[in-house]
Amino acid sequence: MGTEYLVFVGTYTRRESEGIYIYRMDAATGRLDYCGKAAGLENPSFLAICPKRRFLYAVSEIDEFEGEATGIVAAYSISPESGELRWLNSQRTGGTIPCHAQVDATGGSLLLANYGSGSVASFPIEGDGRLGEVVSFIQHEGSSVNPNRQQGPHAHSINLDAANRFAFAPDLGTDRVMAYRFESDVGRLAPHAPPFTTEIPGAGPRHFDFHPNGRHAYVINELDSTITAYDYDAGKGALSRIHTVSTLPDGFEGATTCADVHVSPDGRFVYGSNRGHDSIARFSVNQDTGRLTPRGHTATQGETPRNFAIDPTGAFLLAANQESDSIVTFRIDRESGDLAPTGQAVRVSMPVCVKILD
Protein backbone atom coordinates (compact mmCIF):
# COMPACT_ATOMS: atom_id res chain seq x y z
CA MET A 1 0.00 0.00 0.00
CA GLY A 2 1.27 3.47 -0.86
CA THR A 3 1.57 6.43 1.45
CA GLU A 4 -1.66 7.93 2.73
CA TYR A 5 -2.55 11.10 4.60
CA LEU A 6 -5.46 11.89 6.85
CA VAL A 7 -7.40 15.00 5.81
CA PHE A 8 -9.65 16.92 8.21
CA VAL A 9 -12.16 19.46 6.92
CA GLY A 10 -13.67 22.21 9.06
CA THR A 11 -17.05 23.55 7.91
CA TYR A 12 -19.92 25.90 8.55
CA THR A 13 -22.98 23.97 9.75
CA ARG A 14 -25.45 26.47 8.28
CA ARG A 15 -26.73 24.13 5.59
CA GLU A 16 -26.14 20.36 5.45
CA SER A 17 -22.83 19.97 7.26
CA GLU A 18 -22.80 18.23 10.63
CA GLY A 19 -19.29 19.18 11.73
CA ILE A 20 -15.74 18.04 10.93
CA TYR A 21 -15.23 15.61 8.03
CA ILE A 22 -12.42 13.07 7.74
CA TYR A 23 -10.84 11.65 4.57
CA ARG A 24 -7.92 9.48 3.54
CA MET A 25 -5.76 10.94 0.80
CA ASP A 26 -3.67 8.80 -1.55
CA ALA A 27 -0.30 10.57 -1.65
CA ALA A 28 0.37 9.28 -5.18
CA THR A 29 -2.88 10.33 -6.85
CA GLY A 30 -4.46 12.92 -4.54
CA ARG A 31 -7.62 10.87 -4.31
CA LEU A 32 -9.80 11.52 -1.24
CA ASP A 33 -11.89 8.76 0.35
CA TYR A 34 -14.45 9.50 3.04
CA CYS A 35 -13.71 8.02 6.48
CA GLY A 36 -16.16 9.64 8.83
CA LYS A 37 -17.12 12.77 10.70
CA ALA A 38 -17.24 14.36 14.14
CA ALA A 39 -20.68 15.88 14.58
CA GLY A 40 -22.17 18.17 17.17
CA LEU A 41 -20.00 21.30 17.18
CA GLU A 42 -21.56 24.37 15.58
CA ASN A 43 -19.47 25.97 12.81
CA PRO A 44 -16.17 24.14 13.47
CA SER A 45 -14.58 26.37 10.87
CA PHE A 46 -10.84 26.41 11.52
CA LEU A 47 -8.77 23.47 12.74
CA ALA A 48 -5.33 23.09 14.32
CA ILE A 49 -3.34 19.88 14.89
CA CYS A 50 -0.69 19.40 17.58
CA PRO A 51 2.92 18.68 16.49
CA LYS A 52 2.78 15.10 17.77
CA ARG A 53 -0.34 14.50 15.64
CA ARG A 54 -2.32 13.21 18.62
CA PHE A 55 -4.86 16.01 19.11
CA LEU A 56 -7.00 18.29 16.97
CA TYR A 57 -8.56 21.60 18.00
CA ALA A 58 -11.53 23.30 16.36
CA VAL A 59 -12.87 26.81 16.88
CA SER A 60 -16.64 27.08 16.99
CA GLU A 61 -17.24 30.24 14.97
CA ILE A 62 -20.18 31.64 16.94
CA ASP A 63 -20.90 34.89 18.75
CA GLU A 64 -22.82 33.53 21.75
CA PHE A 65 -22.55 30.50 24.00
CA GLU A 66 -24.89 29.83 26.92
CA GLY A 67 -25.95 33.47 26.98
CA GLU A 68 -22.39 34.83 26.98
CA ALA A 69 -20.84 36.85 24.15
CA THR A 70 -18.13 34.32 23.32
CA GLY A 71 -17.17 31.55 20.96
CA ILE A 72 -15.74 28.22 22.06
CA VAL A 73 -12.78 26.05 21.09
CA ALA A 74 -12.99 22.26 21.30
CA ALA A 75 -10.33 19.57 21.79
CA TYR A 76 -10.36 16.09 20.20
CA SER A 77 -8.04 13.11 20.27
CA ILE A 78 -7.09 11.61 16.89
CA SER A 79 -7.09 7.85 16.27
CA PRO A 80 -3.85 7.25 14.32
CA GLU A 81 -5.36 4.34 12.43
CA SER A 82 -8.77 5.65 11.39
CA GLY A 83 -8.55 9.38 11.99
CA GLU A 84 -11.62 9.14 14.21
CA LEU A 85 -12.01 12.16 16.46
CA ARG A 86 -12.99 11.72 20.11
CA TRP A 87 -14.32 14.73 22.02
CA LEU A 88 -12.19 15.75 24.98
CA ASN A 89 -13.43 19.13 26.22
CA SER A 90 -13.98 22.77 25.28
CA GLN A 91 -13.26 26.26 26.58
CA ARG A 92 -14.82 29.67 26.04
CA THR A 93 -12.62 31.84 23.83
CA GLY A 94 -13.41 35.13 25.61
CA GLY A 95 -14.29 36.84 22.33
CA THR A 96 -16.82 36.41 19.56
CA ILE A 97 -16.52 34.57 16.23
CA PRO A 98 -13.20 32.77 16.75
CA CYS A 99 -11.77 32.11 13.29
CA HIS A 100 -8.21 30.78 13.53
CA ALA A 101 -5.96 28.75 15.84
CA GLN A 102 -2.45 27.32 16.04
CA VAL A 103 -0.74 24.91 18.42
CA ASP A 104 2.75 25.98 19.45
CA ALA A 105 5.85 23.92 18.64
CA THR A 106 5.98 22.27 22.07
CA GLY A 107 2.37 21.11 21.88
CA GLY A 108 1.77 22.80 25.21
CA SER A 109 -0.33 25.79 24.14
CA LEU A 110 -3.13 26.73 21.77
CA LEU A 111 -3.29 30.27 20.40
CA LEU A 112 -6.41 31.64 18.72
CA ALA A 113 -7.90 34.75 17.13
CA ASN A 114 -11.42 36.07 17.75
CA TYR A 115 -12.57 37.86 14.60
CA GLY A 116 -15.84 39.34 15.83
CA SER A 117 -14.57 41.21 18.87
CA GLY A 118 -10.96 41.53 17.69
CA SER A 119 -8.87 39.72 20.29
CA VAL A 120 -6.26 36.98 20.68
CA ALA A 121 -5.86 34.42 23.46
CA SER A 122 -3.77 31.46 24.57
CA PHE A 123 -4.74 28.27 26.41
CA PRO A 124 -2.68 25.51 28.03
CA ILE A 125 -2.87 22.01 26.57
CA GLU A 126 -2.78 19.28 29.19
CA GLY A 127 -0.95 15.99 28.73
CA ASP A 128 -4.14 14.22 27.69
CA GLY A 129 -4.92 16.90 25.05
CA ARG A 130 -7.58 18.74 27.03
CA LEU A 131 -7.61 22.52 27.05
CA GLY A 132 -7.09 24.38 30.29
CA GLU A 133 -8.51 27.79 31.12
CA VAL A 134 -7.25 30.85 29.30
CA VAL A 135 -3.70 31.98 30.20
CA SER A 136 -3.56 35.24 28.26
CA PHE A 137 -6.16 37.40 26.55
CA ILE A 138 -5.40 40.58 24.61
CA GLN A 139 -8.06 42.89 23.20
CA HIS A 140 -7.09 44.77 20.04
CA GLU A 141 -8.06 48.41 19.61
CA GLY A 142 -8.52 50.70 16.62
CA SER A 143 -10.20 50.98 13.23
CA SER A 144 -9.37 51.90 9.63
CA VAL A 145 -10.76 53.44 6.47
CA ASN A 146 -13.38 50.95 5.23
CA PRO A 147 -16.69 52.03 6.87
CA ASN A 148 -18.32 48.64 6.36
CA ARG A 149 -15.55 46.27 7.41
CA GLN A 150 -13.13 48.28 9.54
CA GLN A 151 -15.15 50.09 12.20
CA GLY A 152 -13.30 48.13 14.87
CA PRO A 153 -10.64 45.44 15.33
CA HIS A 154 -11.04 42.03 13.67
CA ALA A 155 -8.16 39.68 14.48
CA HIS A 156 -8.15 37.16 11.63
CA SER A 157 -5.30 34.77 12.40
CA ILE A 158 -2.42 34.14 14.77
CA ASN A 159 0.87 32.65 13.63
CA LEU A 160 4.02 31.57 15.48
CA ASP A 161 7.50 31.73 14.00
CA ALA A 162 9.70 28.64 13.67
CA ALA A 163 11.59 29.46 16.86
CA ASN A 164 8.32 29.57 18.84
CA ARG A 165 9.32 32.99 20.20
CA PHE A 166 7.06 35.48 18.42
CA ALA A 167 3.43 35.46 17.28
CA PHE A 168 1.87 37.61 14.55
CA ALA A 169 -1.84 38.39 14.30
CA PRO A 170 -3.11 40.13 11.14
CA ASP A 171 -6.04 42.34 12.13
CA LEU A 172 -8.40 43.08 9.24
CA GLY A 173 -10.19 45.87 11.07
CA THR A 174 -7.14 47.95 11.99
CA ASP A 175 -4.85 47.27 8.98
CA ARG A 176 -2.16 46.09 11.38
CA VAL A 177 -0.14 42.92 11.78
CA MET A 178 0.07 42.75 15.57
CA ALA A 179 3.24 41.30 17.12
CA TYR A 180 3.62 39.48 20.46
CA ARG A 181 6.32 37.73 22.39
CA PHE A 182 5.35 34.17 23.18
CA GLU A 183 6.52 32.82 26.53
CA SER A 184 6.28 29.12 25.77
CA ASP A 185 7.23 27.98 29.28
CA VAL A 186 4.00 29.48 30.62
CA GLY A 187 2.02 29.67 27.36
CA ARG A 188 1.55 33.41 27.56
CA LEU A 189 1.33 36.12 24.89
CA ALA A 190 3.10 39.30 25.98
CA PRO A 191 3.54 42.82 24.52
CA HIS A 192 6.29 43.25 21.95
CA ALA A 193 8.14 46.26 20.56
CA PRO A 194 7.30 47.32 17.95
CA PRO A 195 3.73 46.22 18.76
CA PHE A 196 2.58 46.09 15.14
CA THR A 197 3.42 46.61 11.47
CA THR A 198 1.00 48.78 9.48
CA GLU A 199 -0.52 47.61 6.21
CA ILE A 200 -1.80 49.84 3.38
CA PRO A 201 -5.04 51.58 4.55
CA GLY A 202 -8.04 49.51 3.51
CA ALA A 203 -5.98 46.39 2.78
CA GLY A 204 -7.56 44.21 5.48
CA PRO A 205 -4.74 41.78 6.47
CA ARG A 206 -6.11 38.29 6.98
CA HIS A 207 -3.82 35.22 6.82
CA PHE A 208 -0.06 34.82 7.18
CA ASP A 209 2.63 32.30 6.27
CA PHE A 210 6.38 32.11 6.81
CA HIS A 211 8.83 31.09 4.12
CA PRO A 212 10.65 27.83 5.01
CA ASN A 213 13.95 29.74 5.16
CA GLY A 214 12.59 31.79 8.07
CA ARG A 215 13.77 35.06 6.50
CA HIS A 216 10.55 36.07 4.78
CA ALA A 217 6.81 36.11 5.52
CA TYR A 218 3.67 36.77 3.48
CA VAL A 219 0.36 38.36 4.45
CA ILE A 220 -2.73 38.09 2.26
CA ASN A 221 -4.99 41.12 2.43
CA GLU A 222 -8.70 40.36 2.15
CA LEU A 223 -10.17 43.71 1.20
CA ASP A 224 -7.84 44.99 -1.54
CA SER A 225 -6.87 41.55 -2.92
CA THR A 226 -3.12 41.79 -2.42
CA ILE A 227 -0.23 39.91 -0.82
CA THR A 228 2.47 41.77 1.08
CA ALA A 229 5.95 40.25 1.26
CA TYR A 230 8.05 40.94 4.35
CA ASP A 231 11.62 40.45 5.48
CA TYR A 232 11.70 38.80 8.89
CA ASP A 233 14.33 39.34 11.55
CA ALA A 234 13.91 36.25 13.72
CA GLY A 235 16.21 37.58 16.42
CA LYS A 236 14.16 40.72 16.97
CA GLY A 237 10.76 39.37 15.89
CA ALA A 238 10.48 42.22 13.40
CA LEU A 239 8.76 42.46 10.01
CA SER A 240 9.77 44.96 7.33
CA ARG A 241 7.79 45.36 4.12
CA ILE A 242 9.42 44.37 0.82
CA HIS A 243 6.52 45.05 -1.56
CA THR A 244 2.83 44.42 -2.16
CA VAL A 245 1.42 42.64 -5.24
CA SER A 246 -2.10 42.11 -6.57
CA THR A 247 -3.66 38.65 -6.51
CA LEU A 248 -5.87 39.52 -9.49
CA PRO A 249 -5.27 39.55 -13.25
CA ASP A 250 -4.92 42.92 -14.93
CA GLY A 251 -8.29 44.45 -15.80
CA PHE A 252 -10.45 42.39 -13.46
CA GLU A 253 -13.20 44.60 -12.01
CA GLY A 254 -15.63 42.19 -10.36
CA ALA A 255 -16.39 41.87 -6.66
CA THR A 256 -13.79 39.69 -4.97
CA THR A 257 -11.90 39.25 -1.70
CA CYS A 258 -8.89 37.20 -0.65
CA ALA A 259 -8.84 34.41 1.92
CA ASP A 260 -5.80 32.18 2.38
CA VAL A 261 -2.06 32.16 1.65
CA HIS A 262 0.54 29.37 1.68
CA VAL A 263 4.17 29.00 0.71
CA SER A 264 5.07 25.73 -1.04
CA PRO A 265 7.18 23.34 1.08
CA ASP A 266 10.22 23.95 -1.13
CA GLY A 267 9.80 27.72 -0.76
CA ARG A 268 9.72 28.38 -4.50
CA PHE A 269 6.09 29.50 -4.80
CA VAL A 270 3.41 31.42 -2.93
CA TYR A 271 -0.29 30.77 -3.51
CA GLY A 272 -3.30 32.89 -2.53
CA SER A 273 -7.05 32.34 -2.89
CA ASN A 274 -9.48 34.79 -4.52
CA ARG A 275 -13.18 34.60 -3.58
CA GLY A 276 -15.24 36.12 -6.39
CA HIS A 277 -12.60 35.68 -9.05
CA ASP A 278 -12.69 32.09 -7.68
CA SER A 279 -9.07 31.27 -8.32
CA ILE A 280 -5.72 30.44 -6.80
CA ALA A 281 -3.14 33.09 -7.66
CA ARG A 282 0.41 31.82 -8.13
CA PHE A 283 3.72 33.64 -7.55
CA SER A 284 7.34 32.62 -7.83
CA VAL A 285 9.64 33.63 -4.97
CA ASN A 286 13.07 35.20 -5.29
CA GLN A 287 14.96 33.10 -2.76
CA ASP A 288 17.40 35.89 -1.92
CA THR A 289 15.06 38.87 -1.64
CA GLY A 290 11.67 37.27 -0.95
CA ARG A 291 10.06 39.30 -3.74
CA LEU A 292 7.08 37.81 -5.58
CA THR A 293 6.57 37.59 -9.33
CA PRO A 294 3.01 36.85 -10.60
CA ARG A 295 2.81 33.59 -12.58
CA GLY A 296 -0.90 33.28 -13.29
CA HIS A 297 -4.21 32.03 -11.92
CA THR A 298 -6.02 28.71 -11.76
CA ALA A 299 -9.82 28.49 -11.47
CA THR A 300 -10.81 26.42 -8.44
CA GLN A 301 -13.75 24.81 -10.30
CA GLY A 302 -16.12 26.11 -7.67
CA GLU A 303 -17.35 29.19 -5.85
CA THR A 304 -15.70 31.11 -3.01
CA PRO A 305 -12.45 29.23 -2.38
CA ARG A 306 -11.89 29.78 1.33
CA ASN A 307 -8.86 27.98 2.66
CA PHE A 308 -6.67 25.52 0.82
CA ALA A 309 -3.89 23.13 1.80
CA ILE A 310 -0.70 21.82 0.20
CA ASP A 311 0.37 18.27 1.05
CA PRO A 312 3.70 17.80 2.89
CA THR A 313 5.64 16.85 -0.25
CA GLY A 314 4.28 19.76 -2.31
CA ALA A 315 2.65 17.46 -4.86
CA PHE A 316 -1.01 18.41 -4.43
CA LEU A 317 -3.18 21.38 -3.47
CA LEU A 318 -6.68 20.89 -2.05
CA ALA A 319 -9.01 23.87 -2.58
CA ALA A 320 -12.12 24.27 -0.41
CA ASN A 321 -14.94 25.91 -2.39
CA GLN A 322 -17.25 27.12 0.37
CA GLU A 323 -20.32 28.16 -1.60
CA SER A 324 -20.32 25.29 -4.11
CA ASP A 325 -19.73 22.62 -1.44
CA SER A 326 -16.62 20.98 -2.87
CA ILE A 327 -12.98 20.22 -2.28
CA VAL A 328 -11.07 19.98 -5.56
CA THR A 329 -7.64 18.35 -5.95
CA PHE A 330 -4.90 19.92 -8.10
CA ARG A 331 -1.49 18.51 -8.96
CA ILE A 332 1.39 20.96 -8.53
CA ASP A 333 4.08 21.14 -11.21
CA ARG A 334 7.30 21.24 -9.19
CA GLU A 335 9.18 23.29 -11.78
CA SER A 336 6.61 25.91 -12.75
CA GLY A 337 4.27 25.84 -9.76
CA ASP A 338 1.33 25.45 -12.14
CA LEU A 339 -1.83 23.79 -10.83
CA ALA A 340 -3.54 21.10 -12.92
CA PRO A 341 -6.91 19.68 -11.86
CA THR A 342 -6.74 15.93 -11.34
CA GLY A 343 -10.44 15.48 -12.08
CA GLN A 344 -11.03 14.47 -8.48
CA ALA A 345 -13.34 16.30 -6.12
CA VAL A 346 -15.44 15.46 -3.08
CA ARG A 347 -18.65 17.05 -1.91
CA VAL A 348 -18.58 18.71 1.52
CA SER A 349 -21.18 21.24 2.60
CA MET A 350 -19.60 24.68 3.19
CA PRO A 351 -15.95 23.64 3.64
CA VAL A 352 -13.83 26.30 5.33
CA CYS A 353 -10.53 24.77 6.45
CA VAL A 354 -8.47 21.81 5.18
CA LYS A 355 -5.71 20.22 7.28
CA ILE A 356 -3.52 17.39 5.97
CA LEU A 357 -1.91 15.04 8.50
CA ASP A 358 0.95 12.86 7.28
Contact 241, 218 (CB under 8 A): no
Q: Is the dihedral of CA 221, 226, 227, 228 positive or negative?
A: negative
Residue 318 in any domain: the answer is no
At 2, the pLDDT band (50, 70, 90 cuts) reads low
Query: pLDDT at residue 116 above 80?
Result: yes
46-82 pLDDT, tens digit per residue, is 999 999 999 999 999 999 999 999 999 999 999 988 9
Residue 121 in any domain: the answer is yes
Q: Is the dihedral of CA 140, 141, 147, 148 positive or negative?
A: positive
Domain that holds residue 74: 40-301
pLDDT of residue 122: 98
CATH code assigned at 239: 2.130.10.10
Identity of the residue numbered 341:
P
306-343 pLDDT, tens digit per residue, is 999 999 999 999 999 999 999 999 999 999 999 999 99
Residue 289 in any domain: the answer is yes
How many domains, the chain?
1
125-150 pLDDT, tens digit per residue, is 999 999 999 999 999 999 999 999 99
The per-residue pLDDT of the chain, averaged, comes to 97
| Of the candidates 175, 353, 357, the residue with the CA atom closest to the CA atom of residue 273 | 353
Q: Is the pTM of this model over 0.95?
A: yes
Residue 322 in any domain: the answer is no
Residue 320 in any domain: the answer is no
At 358, the pLDDT band (50, 70, 90 cuts) reads confident
Rounded Cα distance, 22 and 33, in Å = 9
Query: pLDDT at residue 160 above 50?
Result: yes
pLDDT of residue 182: 98
pLDDT of residue 319: 98
Beta-carbon count within 10 A of 89 CB: 14
256-312 pLDDT, tens digit per residue, is 999 999 999 999 999 999 999 999 999 999 999 999 999 999 999 999 999 999 999
Beta-carbon count within 10 A of 181 CB: 15
Average pLDDT score over residue span 207-222: 98
pLDDT of residue 101: 98
Residue 345 in any domain: the answer is no
Average pLDDT score over residue span 183-200: 97
At 353, the pLDDT band (50, 70, 90 cuts) reads very high
Residue 12 in any domain: the answer is no
Query: pLDDT at residue 1 above 60?
Result: no
Burial (Cβ within 10 Å: 0-12, 13-18, ≥19) of residue 183: middle
